[in-house]
Amino acid sequence: MSQLVVIGKSGQLAWEVARLVPDAVCLGRDDIDITSAESIADKLGVLAPAAVINASAYTAVDKAESDEANAYLLNQTAVANLANYCKAHKAFFVHVSTDYVFNGEKGSPYTVDDTIAPQGMYGKTKAAGEAEVKSILPEHSAIIRTSWVYSAHGNNFVKTMLRLMAEKPQLGVIDDQLGSPTWAKGLAQACIEAATQQHTGVFHWSDEGVCSWYDFAVAIQQLGLEKGLLSQAVPINPIPSSAYPTPAKRPHYSVLDKTLSRETYTTPLIHWREQLSAMMDELVK
């Protein structure tokens, strides 16, 4: 395919896409202002992309509760601007969304057709962005919802846990929020496939398997010790969400049903423990 453009240069997903597609153009806030339709037209007009992957978002879940205007600006207005450009120039649009569009009360994996009911401002603004894509170019776009993303690049739960395990005598980690971790490399592969094969519609993409944040932390410590990233084990204590109050309410169960992705994509879905081990091997190098 001709030019692939990724919006969100500094993020984990864009970093992984760039590793997989070296000639992709990754644009950050210093390169393009996606809140401005004019800036998008100027920059993308020169590049003339065949596909655009939007890996940019307002992702500060708790801050969004008190920063509603900026969250909507990046998660809705900017998405509409990009979708409108793609519609006008016949570029395929891949937009990354989140498990936070669901309220977490279903108790079984969420399908792509389940009713969304976001609890917090982050989820509400991401849902608004999805609605823009569906309204503007429903037949030439992919919305990919994901969860618990991490990578060897940037800040994320895995790297934070490794740091705290090396610094603290013990840790308390929430055990009553269930979901699926996602290595950004696998997500990047799915986004690239969606862009190149023009998989149209709403899809769910996370690594296989289900765990709590506590389970995830225990696995991180186990693998960290095996790989020499940690020198000694520390006690990890399971705690309820109520013991760690946050401005934004998190879904207790946000596992995504990936049936449609299995049927549509050739990119393999791999268990989260295997993906976690592969990513942590990169930290050893």
The catalytic residue positions are 122
DSSP string for the chain: ---EEEE-TTSHHHHHHHHH-TTPEEE-TTT--TT-HHHHHHHHHHH--SEEEE------TTGGGT-HHHHHIIIIIHHHHHHHHHHHTT-EEEEEEEGGGS-S-SSSPBPTTSPP---SHHHHHHHHHHHHHHHH-TTSEEEEEE-SEE-SSS--HHHHHHHHHHH-S-EEEE-S-EE--EEHHHHHHHHHHHHHHT--EEEE---BS-EEHHHHHHHHHHHHHHTTS-SS---EEEE-GGGS--SSPPPSB-PBP-HHHHHH--SPP-BHHHHHHHHHHHHH-
